Structure 1
Amino acid sequence: MSDHESLERLVSDDPDVIADHAERLYRRLDATDTHDRVDAGRALRTAARHDPRLVEPHSDALIALLADPHGSLRLSGAVGLAELAEATPTSVVRAVPELTALLADDAPAVRMAAIRGLARIGERFPGAVSVADEPAAALSSAASPRIRTAVLSVFAAAVLADPARFPETVGAYERALDDDDPRVRRCAASAVASVARVDPTALESPERTLERIERIERRTDAQPWNHDGKTTKAARTLRSVVEDDT
């Protein structure tokens, strides 16, 4: 490999070779040339998507990228850690503060990757991710519909591991039942029903929540093009929870 050859292209062709080019990888990450640094970050991102174990020796480098001024490098760090969190969450628990900070990132793709990483860590270690409770709750109302949906569906993996540790997010899930976007409302219904199934006491009132979901269900039935089954299933779950409590 020449000094000018793309490390990302090399890793794309054969991800396993990243182990043989660690010295070149770190030289490029430390370079003053932005192109070289971005290329090295993308090489890590590519390897992680192929096999997260390939980047486990580089977890410190991935964490360092989360604070980089360049968006592509922050994305590479967040994607690499999200992939690694699925394979070995214990190896990236220490990145929770940095991933939480990225929930406020300007780039939606970076925020999405941070949500995935936190969800995968939180599914195993909810206590470690509880620091993301308030930032995640804020995203569920202030971000784009795509990000709001991700907080309701993807980040829910952490919330459902121990809903009591995420009171702000659970509250935001309930408020999202009134969201302007129909897809967000349906995802909120599904998320709230899942919380109720795990811990009904985490909800302000399962009975009132059921009434709100039934209203969404009626609106969805009147608009079959918006029907994906989530609201019907959520209402069924809440009815079962409410009946069990009476």
Structure 2
Amino acid sequence: MEQPAAFNVLRGSSTADLILASDFAATTGRTVGSFSDLIPRLKTGYAVWETRPPAPGDRSADDHLDRWAADVRASGLTVRAVLGYCVGSVFGAGLVERVSAWQEPPMLIVFDPEVPHPALLHRHYLDAVTALAGFMTAAQVEAARREGDVALAEKLAMTELAKVLSDLVVAHGEPALTGIGLAADRSAELLGGFRAFLSYLVSAAELDPSRGWAAATAITSATEHNGLNTLPADRREGAVAREILFDLPHPELLRDPDVAAAVEGLLTERER
């Protein structure tokens, strides 16, 4: 079949079975594990497609789901499972709902699932500042962090906060990257990737994944500010159908062989 326009193919297969993986994996300079780390550890013979991140813009969550679902339906393949990482778990629940319109519902496995919120956007902004810190003076880094804190404190709407934080990353990052001699097009790619990522987070906030997550299995790290670990006990109870805990930091979740073995076991259970 033709290469799907809205997905990156992580694994091909001669079978008619497919796993979908939902994540913003094309983030330039990403340091956390991705499905490209997890999938090679799985023994399954299913094809695996990973959502291709949308370009930044005023596209809705439904626009993204329509684009992904159209490719899947056109393929004629049967989706056996959907995997979602962090905010990708929100879109993962949406993909399960879309796919279930024409086939039996696939299983949903989510990794540190999290719904976007202003503090999450701010946290990713601080991560971006940290990544740029090696090219900035201590005073410049402090100024960037302070301006991000002010933006969060203003309690802006998510869309507006994303724009402010993206503009701040460009304002501080562009001179820092120019200062080390990075080409303008490469600098624009790096900084534009952050804007696209925040746009992705904002669109995901339009969705309510609670019904999909209630039937899902969650794989949870030990990082307190990620996924289900951020929920109070009364909200965590029943948020997912099953939770598997790992004593791992969030960035290592998709890299760990024991996590891969757990996913393999879940897929095998479903086949029985």
Which protein has the bigger helix share? 1
Please give the TM-score of this superposition, normalised by the length of structure 2.
0.27
Please give the TM-score of this superposition, normalised by the length of structure 1.
0.29
Which protein has the bigger strand share? 2
For the pair shown, which has the larger CA radius of gyration, 1 or 2?
Answer: 1
